[in-house]
Amino acid sequence: MKILSVNAGSSSLKFTLIELPSRETIASGLFEKIGMEGSFYTIKYNGEKIQKECSLKDHSVAVSKLIDELLENKIVTSLEEIEGVGHRILHGGSEFTESTLLNEEVLKRIEKYNELGPLHNPANIMGVRAFMKVLPKVPNVGVFDTTFHQTMKEEEFLYPVPYEWYTEYGVRKYGFHGTSHRFIYKTISEYLKRDDLKVISCHIGNGGSLCAINSGKVVDTTMGFTPLAGIMMGTRSGDIDPSIIPFVMKKTGKSAEEIVNDLNKKSGLLGVSGISSDGRDVEDAANNGDARAILAQNMYAQKIANYIAMYNNLLEGADVITLTAGVGENSKTMRKMIIERIKSLGVKIDDDKNDFRGEFRLISTEDSKIPVYVIPTNEELMIALDTMDLIS
Ligand code: ADP
């Protein structure tokens, strides 16, 4: 069976066509600048790459183009071959505790959470409506970034603020990257043939979050009401004292929204190093002795290490630590810096085993008290698997 896994942004649409149950990627691609000047798309399949400029007025036009390309290039021989479309949806509030078959009524319910994910949710929903229009007979499934975290207990997801903020306005920790953390748990539990694992999953890419998982259920995660909370990221600050916001507003004359924008887009590795949000650039500068790049790297590693130690306590001893996403999969330097900072837990890195990029591997020593694995994440596959389950 062929399933399309889709991530629609406000001006982009990313897709992967996956064959199941073999899990083979048949084609993947990206439509960019939708609704803007200079829109274009790239499709990769069978070792070939198509890149075309083309006017893409809206998401429906992009979906029609995608279908035309799939047929013209014989990637599929007929539309009936596409049995389902799975959509990444950022926010399902507290309501969506599982991936869900989508129809107009469900979309209306999801729209209630647009104000909690204003940058992503409306775009994700627009993507769903485009597929409903172009492929009206094909079922659509919503896979939410928030659902995996819905097993958190009140004492973990509540903030110590007036309780009415939660009951009246939904102020609580939701958590994100759930599809990735769920994929990582599934992969490691299948590999170790255990479904009772206590895992600290570290998703560290441009965005980043940690998740404490016990027997497949989330106990706690670092992102919060929005993705701004938790560890230091590429451009996001992670946790800070909220009093900084009105203080800097007064100093700069900026609005709250502008300061929050600075915390989302001009902070983290970029803000501290003053060089880049990209771990590779910061690493190059640090290797050349740039003091702020070194500071940024140290801060980045330490904040992750601190949360690992905290989650080890919360889980009363983790069985496994996993690292994934852009930094976790590719940066041996950052992996080493993080693991060196959790030596109090008896965790030790094996430098020879750590010398690689982008594969599933154990990187800790044999006598490390907690094994550490690098596991490439695959949110697209997780979305396709959920879609297959729901439509079968
Ligand atoms: P996103 O959160 O956007 O999905 P990714 O998981 O794709 O991000 O991660 C992208 C980030 O991974 C880049 O911004 C870069 O900082 C980091 N990265 C990729 N390769 C390396 C590397 N070799 N060394 C350090 N950082 C890397």
Span between the terminal Cα atoms of the chain, in Å: 10
DSSP-derived secondary structure letter, 369: S
Which architecture, in CATH terms, is 2-144? 2-Layer Sandwich (3.30)
Of 145, 196, 220, 367, the catalytic one is: 145
Residue 145 a catalytic site member: yes
CA–CA distance from 314 to each of 82, 207, 311 (Å)?
Answer: 43, 23, 5
* SS3 state of residue 238: coil
Beta strands in 46-81 (DSSP E): 48-53
Pocket probe for ligand 1: among 236, 278, 287, the residue whose CB has the most ligand atoms within 8 Å is 278
Cα dist from 312 to 71, 136, 300, 352, whole Å: 50, 48, 19, 26
Residue 314 Cα to chain centre, angstroms: 23
Distance of CA 283 to the CA centre of its chain: 23
Domain boundaries, given as residue ranges, for the chain = 2-144, 194-379
CATH number listed for the domain at residues 194-379: 3.30.420.40
Question: What spacing in Å lies between the alpha carbon of 329 and ligand 1's midpoint?
Answer: 8
Domains 2-144 and 194-379 agree in fold: yes
User: Number of helices (H) and strands (E), helices first, in the chain?
Assistant: 14, 14
Would you give per-residue pLDDT tens digits along the chain (392 residues)? 999 999 999 999 999 999 999 999 999 999 999 999 999 999 999 999 999 999 999 999 999 999 999 999 999 999 999 999 999 999 999 999 999 999 999 999 999 999 998 889 999 999 999 999 999 999 999 999 999 999 999 999 999 999 999 999 999 999 999 999 999 999 999 999 999 999 999 999 999 999 999 999 999 999 999 999 999 999 999 999 999 999 999 999 999 999 999 999 999 999 999 999 999 999 999 999 999 999 999 999 999 999 999 999 999 999 999 999 999 999 999 999 999 999 999 999 999 999 999 999 999 999 999 999 999 999 999 999 999 999 98
Short-list 175, 177, 174, 199, CA closest to 186: 199
